[in-house]
């Protein structure tokens, strides 16, 4: 996660987006994974099974959409960078 948190958002660049297949094996590990993603400035949502091809649907496996938020601690967002460059 530390590597992802250091990836800066350039002004006008789209946020980082990951799609991963995830199977729960440990609730504690899952909770840690989600906390680390949140702390690194990412939002996680689960794609609905109905949006997946039937061949790739499995009730034990979730497809997670992980997106970089604008406000990443220690990394200026595109909005912050634009405001800073416009300041006198």
pLDDT digits (tens, 9 = 90+) for 6-61: 666 666 677 888 899 999 999 999 999 999 888 888 899 999 999 999 998 999 99
pLDDT score of 8:
62
pLDDT score of 23:
93
Average pLDDT (63-87) is: 58
pLDDT score of 18:
87
- Nearest in space to 61 (alpha carbons), one of 74, 47, 80: 47
Q: Which residue has the higher pLDDT, 10 or 85?
A: 10
Q: Which two tokens stand for residue 5?
A: 């948190």
Q: How far is CA 6 from CA 2, 48, 55, 75, in A?
A: 7, 30, 36, 7
Q: Where are the domains of the chain?
A: 2-8+15-71
64 has a pLDDT exceeding 80 = yes
Average pLDDT (63-67) is: 93
pTM, full prediction: 0.66
Q: Which two tokens stand for residue 11?
A: 């002004």
């Amino acid at each position: 996660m530390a590597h992802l948190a250091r990836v800066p958002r350039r002004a006008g660049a789209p946020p980082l987006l990951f799609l991963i297949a995830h199977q729960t094996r440990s609730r504690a590990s899952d909770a840690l994974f989600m906390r680390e993603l949140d702390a690194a400035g990412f939002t996680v949502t689960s794609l609905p099974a109905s949006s997946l091809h039937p061949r790739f649907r499995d009730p034990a496996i979730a497809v997670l959409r992980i997106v970089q938020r604008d406000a990443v601690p220690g990394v200026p967002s595109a909005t912050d960078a634009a405001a800073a460059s416009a300041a006198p």
